[in-house]
Amino acid sequence: MSTGFGAGFDDGEEEGGLFEAPAAAEDGFVAEPAPSRPYVRPDAPLAVRMRPTTLDEVVGQSHLLAPGAPLRRLVEGSGASSVMLYGPPGTGKTTLASLISGATGRKFEALSALSAGVKEVRAVIDLARRRLTAGEQTVLFIDEVHRFSKTQQDALLAAVENRIVLLVAATTENPSFSVVSPLLSRSLVLQLQPLSSEDIELLLSRASNDPRGLDGAVTIAPDAMAHLVRLAAGDARRALTALEAAAGAAGGPVLDLATVEASVDKAAVRYDRDGDQHYDVISAFIKSIRGSDVDAALHYLARMITAGEDPRFIARRLVVHASEDVGMADPTALQTATAAATAVQLIGMPEARLALAQATIHLATAPKSGAVIAALGAAMADVAAGKSGPVPPHLRDGHYKGAEALGNAVGYKYPHSDPGGVLRQQYPPDELVGVNYYEPTDHGVEREIGTRVGKLRRIVRGR
């Protein structure tokens, strides 16, 4: 289960977390109450001890917590919409769920998709239905909802639609990819953003001075603070975990940069190969290449390699990009990308990362043309529109007995018989004569190809 800090962190798998130990509820069902200030063990992790218990302590997510915003209304007890809280770890999804649960007159039930099944979901819904007859509303918090199967998600539909439960679901993955459409349509999807550097610095300062935290035991030096902020990368749990580790190793009242560097190896790369970061980073990678920003492209390549992305996936995207966005402006780009893909297969990682980098640099610095994909798209659009007339008789197969009697291949002109190697002849179906699909740009090699294509069309069409 996650642990939100301010709108600040998730992933509260440690004991002494967001909720007290389960207590017996109606009809023997085990509920997990969330009191306004739950008991937290003094030896609980710093990130758990510093978890906000009021909206005033929440840091970040101002775009969702403005006066009158749906999320603020839920936290204040006046909203009635089920919500999907979607964002990376450390952005406060569970913290906000906890604050919503504390709204006046609401009961709270928590399930984790890692352990709950359809039986547990239906038990909560039955309990909520009985409570509703007594005028009590139930907030059902589901952590890691993207891990629920389709059947488990479907079990929630009627209860959410009829407001038997107010669903607050947390996910680190884009719900569009991981949550069934009917449940999405019944919920308000709210995207949480990574915390800013200023937010992280505020949280670290608060944790170092608050009695729930380090209670002034150490003062963070400015360069150490800057390093902790960089390590956090917008994730408050990561920042506070690093602070706790460094503070424990500090030899005096001042936490310096050397101690932080010695205590924390490096920031984990925020990248989930099975989640939306997978799609976001590869999208940024390809768009950086398309935009000819070689440095940004190498950055995203490095992120994928560092996070352990399948190099074959990267290589496939480079091969596609070579034709889609470079095309005939530099025909050798496809050769380089294909060679990189072959290198990945032959030698594997980590050595193959150099071939991927070479292909990335080639494609990013190559002249660009979308003429290949545009030409194919236009041709396929005509086919889809029914413009698929009969193949002209002189182009049909004439290699069988009786073909000539049918007029097949009769009148076909063999180009190699012409001194120029190109001659006038109809090739497309009648209704597509004169249609141009390929429109070369004036970028790179296509500048020369464009002149050649114009000349070829004039000869073939007799114009």
Residue in the block written with tokens 């978890």: 51
CA distance 385 to 118: 46
CA distance 429 to 315: 38
**C-alpha of 306 from chain center:** 17
Domain coordinates of the chain in residue numbers?
A: 23-191, 197-263, 276-365, 388-461
CA distance readout (Å), 316 to 18, 301, 313, 356: 43, 13, 5, 10
pLDDT per residue, tens digit, the chain (463 aa), is 333 344 444 443 333 333 333 333 344 333 444 444 556 777 788 988 888 888 878 888 888 888 888 788 877 777 677 889 888 888 888 888 878 777 656 788 888 887 788 888 889 999 989 988 888 888 888 888 888 888 888 888 888 888 898 888 888 888 887 888 888 888 888 888 888 889 999 999 999 999 998 999 899 999 999 888 888 878 888 889 889 988 888 878 999 888 888 887 654 455 555 555 677 888 899 999 999 999 999 999 998 888 778 888 899 999 999 999 999 999 999 999 999 999 998 888 888 899 999 999 999 999 999 999 999 999 999 888 888 888 888 888 878 877 777 877 788 888 898 888 888 888 888 888 888 998 898 999 988 888 888 988 898 888 7
CA distance 221 to 205: 11
In this structure, is the dihedral angle defined by the CA atoms of residues 64, 66, 71 and 76, taken in order, positive or negative?
A: positive
CA distance 318 to 338: 8
* Assigned superfamily of 23-191: P-loop containing nucleotide triphosphate hydrolases (3.40.50.300)
Query: In CATH, what class is 388-461?
Result: mainly alpha
Question: Would you say 311 and 305 are in contact if contact means Cβ atoms under 8 Å apart?
Answer: yes
Return the CATH number of 197-263, one of 1.10.287.1080, 3.40.640.10, 3.90.660.10, 1.10.8.60. Answer: 1.10.8.60
Which pTM does this prediction carry? 0.54
Q: Which two tokens stand for residue 28?
A: 């023997």
Residue 221's pLDDT is 92
Secondary element (H or E) of residue 297: helix 294-306
Q: Which two tokens stand for residue 270?
A: 């925020």
Task: Please choose, from the candidates 408, 410, 411, the residue with its C-alpha nearest in 3D space to the C-alpha of residue 397.
Answer: 408
Third-level CATH fold of 276-365: Zinc Finger, Delta Prime; domain 3 (1.20.272)
Specify the amino acid at residue 163: R
